[in-house]
Copies of this chain bind each other. A is one copy, B any other.
Amino acid sequence: MTHPAPDNTRERLLIQAELLFSRKGFAAVSVREITSAADTNLAAVNYHFGNKMNLYLSVFKERWVPRAQEIRKFFKNFLSGKNHPDTSDVVRAIATAFLEGTMTDDEQRCQIGLMQRELAHPTEAISIVVDEVLRPMHHDIQKQIRPSFSKKADLEQLTLSIFSIISMILYFEFARPVVSLVMNQEFDSQYKSRVIDHIVSFTMNGINGFKEEKTI
């Protein structure tokens, strides 16, 4: 067989690299740190991925995107039960998919951390983030939420509203240590579900407010 068997080392490298990159960012993580965490040799990164940046991109291609697709799937399944989901259903679906989906807490932090860092300081991976996830999800959400909006002129308002929802989700996850610090409350699962409730209520009111403004 010319093709290699499913490679254990390669997988361990991806896992540890993802974790470290999401916590510290690309520049702050060394190859030695990754290979040490993956319990393998220094040269393993260059053997399996060519170089450090390619490892970073592979993390997005082989781990980040698949999980993002699970988030999308969760979002769709969440709404599949209802044939006419209202705005609050959609928003709750988004928030829950991101913050309480099928992922563990560490996986969520990892996923959102990597996304946030790419939004803040784009590398080549930004095209993956935007093309494979942001645009499609934006389209999904738009499609689901649009009935709550009346006029065509509201399209920009709709887009901005979606960004607002995303921003809250990312912020509560990303700035978690500081949010806990300011609110003097630890970020446990119970608190997380309260955050989700808040985002849903806050957003729903916001969007319904727009609707009332236009129709009344």
* Chain A residues in the interface with B (C-beta under 8 A): 23-28, 113, 116-117, 119-122, 126, 129-130, 134-135, 138, 156-157, 159-161, 163-164, 166-168, 170-172, 174-175, 177-179, 181-183, 194-195, 198-199, 201-210, 213
Which residues of chain B are within 8 angstroms of A207 by Cβ–Cβ distance? 202, 205
Question: Assembly of this chain: how many copies?
Answer: 2
A208 to B208, CA, bound (A): 11
> Measured between C-beta atoms, what is the minimum distance from A164 to chain B in Å?
5
CB pair A182–B135 under 8 Å, yes or no, is yes
> Measured between C-beta atoms, what is the minimum distance from A61 to chain B in Å?
18
CB pair A202–B206 under 8 Å, yes or no, is yes
- Option from B116, B163, B181, B209 in Cβ contact (under 8 Å) with A172: B163
Given contact pairs A201-B206, A202-B210, A205-B205, a sample of 13 additional A-B residue pairs in the complex whose CB atoms are under 8 Å apart: A113-B120, A117-B120, A119-B178, A122-B178, A130-B182, A138-B182, A156-B194, A160-B195, A164-B168, A167-B171, A201-B213, A204-B209, A205-B208
Which residues of chain B are within 8 angstroms of A161 by Cβ–Cβ distance? 198, 202
A157 to B198, CA, bound (A): 7
